[in-house]
Amino acid sequence: MRVVAQGEITVIWLGPVRSTKKKVSGYSPLPMENGTYVIGHSETGHHHVLSRPDAASVMVLDRPPEGMRVLRAILDQPMQLKHERGFDTHEPLELVPGEYEFRIAREYDPYEELARRSMD
């Protein structure tokens, strides 16, 4: 797997890493929400989350392009990217240890003349 998608989230595998302690320039640590890393927010509360936040280090790009959210994750163990919804859900993605980039799609609203994150 190099590039896959789960709804509005594009997942790019960047390769293996040796430690979850790696720091990436231009990124800041992403705070956990309710004990997990929320990779993609949903307006209905059915977020895309990592199944093993204890084995991950997630950072958010400090200055992303307008309307985008870009995350960098370093996974120490295998885990899943899960969609927290009991119906009409995206299948979990199996992630192997390594470094990943998560890009949340954006859409352009010509009426408001702005780019914003795509809604799930």
Please state, in angstroms and rounded to a whole number, the distance separating the CA atoms of residues 2 and 116.
26
Please state, in angstroms and rounded to a whole number, the distance separating the CA atoms of residues 93 and 100.
13
Whether the pLDDT of residue 105 is over 80: the answer is no
Cβ atoms within 10 A of the Cβ of 109, count?
10
Range of the domain at 45: 3-117
77-91 pLDDT tens trace: 999 999 886 555 678
Cβ atoms within 10 A of the Cβ of 77, count?
12
Total tally of structural domains belonging to the chain:
1
pTM: 0.81
Residue 5 vs residue 70, higher pLDDT = 70
Whether the pLDDT of residue 46 is over 80: the answer is no
Whether the pLDDT of residue 10 is over 60: the answer is yes
Three-state SS annotation for 85-99? CCCCCCCCEEECCEE
Three-class DSSP category at 114:
strand
Q: Are 106 and 22 in contact (CB under 8 A)?
A: no
Three-class DSSP category at 55:
helix
- Within 8 A by CB and 6+ apart from 38, the residues are 47, 48, 49
Whether the pLDDT of residue 101 is over 60: the answer is yes
Whether the pLDDT of residue 30 is over 70: the answer is yes
pLDDT at 103: 92
pLDDT at 88: 58
